[in-house]
Amino acid sequence: MVGLVLLAVVVLLLPFGIRAATKKRDPNRGLRWHGIRWEGAAGADAIVESALAKQKAGDLAGALAEYDRALALQRTALVLNNRGCALLASGEVVGAVSDLREAVTLEPESATAHCSLAEALSRAGEQAAALESLKKAATIDPSWRTYARTAEAFAALREDAEGGRWIAGPTYRSE
């Protein structure tokens, strides 16, 4: 009797087994693993927003971890600039300079990246390099020169003879 029931079950399930074994998987169906979340560029943007919120709240360690996650997905000048600023705020000047130099390399027309690099270089004591970076930022967007006149970040550069003259000057002169 048990053998007959087993035979009936096998006969009933056999068509489903054959169909499953021969059916090709639809590539548009997505991932089969439901436990894994793959994050794309849109995911990186959300991570950057989370990092910015943490940075504004004073959680620099959390922000840096989020920036690292975003960089693993998408290496952009914006993320490098933001992480460089977070590193600078946490006192890691060497790491900040490295990130900000890469940001400027990736996006040479970003006045923000040049200005951030100028701030990091000034904190590192490299006033001549900081001034050159600030000049590039002001060439792209003249408002950065006005910002440098009052920003605490550029106090050391304003005390430098050449830096002080350029920052106080009325217009940018190519030298």
CATH of the domain at 98: 1.25.40.10
DSSP letter at 175 equals -
The answer for residues whose C-beta is within 8 angstroms of residue 23's C-beta and 6 or more apart is none
Q: Is residue 50 in some structural domain?
A: yes
Query: What phi and psi, each to the nearest 5 degrees, are found at residue 135?
Result: -60, -40
Using the predicted structure, report yes or no on whether residue 19 has a pLDDT greater than 70.
Answer: no
Using the predicted structure, report yes or no on whether residue 139 has a pLDDT greater than 80.
Answer: yes
Quickly list H helices, 57-110.
Answer: 60-73, 77-89, 93-106
Q: Is residue 88 in some structural domain?
A: yes
- Are the beta carbons of 90 and 123 closer than 8 angstroms? no
Using the predicted structure, report yes or no on whether residue 10 has a pLDDT greater than 90.
Answer: no
- CA angle at 135 for the pair 132 and 138, rounded to the nearest 5°: 155
The dihedral built from the CA positions of residue 69, 75, 81 and 84, taken in this order, carries a sign that is positive
Q: Is residue 23 in some structural domain?
A: no
Please give the tally of structural domains in the chain. 1
Give the model's pLDDT for residue 169: 83
Q: Is residue 60 in some structural domain?
A: yes
* 157-169 average pLDDT score: 91
Going by pLDDT thresholds of 50, 70 and 90, the confidence category of residue 29 is low
Q: Is residue 6 in some structural domain?
A: no
Q: Is residue 66 in some structural domain?
A: yes
Q: Is residue 20 in some structural domain?
A: no
Using the predicted structure, report yes or no on whether residue 138 has a pLDDT greater than 80.
Answer: yes
**Range of 90's domain?**
41-168
> Of 17-26, 84-93, 136-145, 148-157, which range is least confident?
17-26
Tell me how far apart the terminal alpha carbons of the chain are, to the nearest angstrom. 100
Using the predicted structure, report yes or no on whether residue 67 has a pLDDT greater than 80.
Answer: yes
What is the rounded CA–CA span in Å between residue 135 and residue 119?
12
Going by pLDDT thresholds of 50, 70 and 90, the confidence category of residue 9 is low
Kindly report, residue by residue over 74-118, the tens digit of the pLDDT.
899 999 999 999 999 999 999 999 999 999 999 999 999 999 999
Q: Is residue 1 in some structural domain?
A: no
* pTM (whole model) above 0.75: no
